[in-house]
Amino acid sequence: MDSLERCAKAKEFLPTFYANFMSSSEEVREKFRHTNFDRQNRMLLNSLRLAGDAVAGDPQALKQLIERGETHSRNHLNIEPRLYESWLESLLRAAHQFDEHWDYEVEAAWRLVLSHVIRHMLRYY
C-alpha cells in the first residue's frame, strides 16, 4: 500500500498504466474506446486501494471486491481471463516507473496482492 500511495502522488502514474495496457492489444483498446479516463483513473485508484484492504481481510472491501468480480464477469463487462496478465504487467511497469523505492520486495508485494485479486475476479467470470 505504501508503494501504491507513492505512485498515486504522480499525476502520470495511471495514464502511464493505461498507455501500457492499451498498447498490449487491439482488444484492450476496443474495451476502452468510449472511456472517460478522468473517471476511470479515479475508479482504478480506488479499486487498487480496495484490493489491498480486501487482501488484508477488511469485510467491506471484500464485499466490494465481490461486486467488482460480478461487474467484470462475462455477463457484464466481459473481461476475458487472458486480459488480466496484460493488466498486471502493465500496472507493474507503471508502478516500477513511478515508485522511487521500487525493488524486488516491492514488486513481490504488488504481485502477491494482485494475484489474489485476479484469482478472485476469474472465479466470477
Phi, psi of 106 (to 5 degrees): -65, -45
Largest CA distance in the chain: 40
pLDDT of the residue at 77:
86
Class of domain 2-124: mainly alpha
pLDDT score of 108 more than 90: yes
Report domain extents, the chain. 2-124
0.85 surpassed by pTM: yes
Q: Where are the alpha helices (DSSP H) in the chain?
A: 2-8, 13-22, 26-31, 37-55, 59-71, 83-98, 104-124
- Report the pLDDT averaged over residues 54-60: 93
Burial 67-95 (b: 16+ CB within 10 A, else e): ebbeebbeeeeebeeebbebbbebbbebb
C-alpha cell belonging to residue 122: 476469474
pLDDT score of 12 more than 90: yes
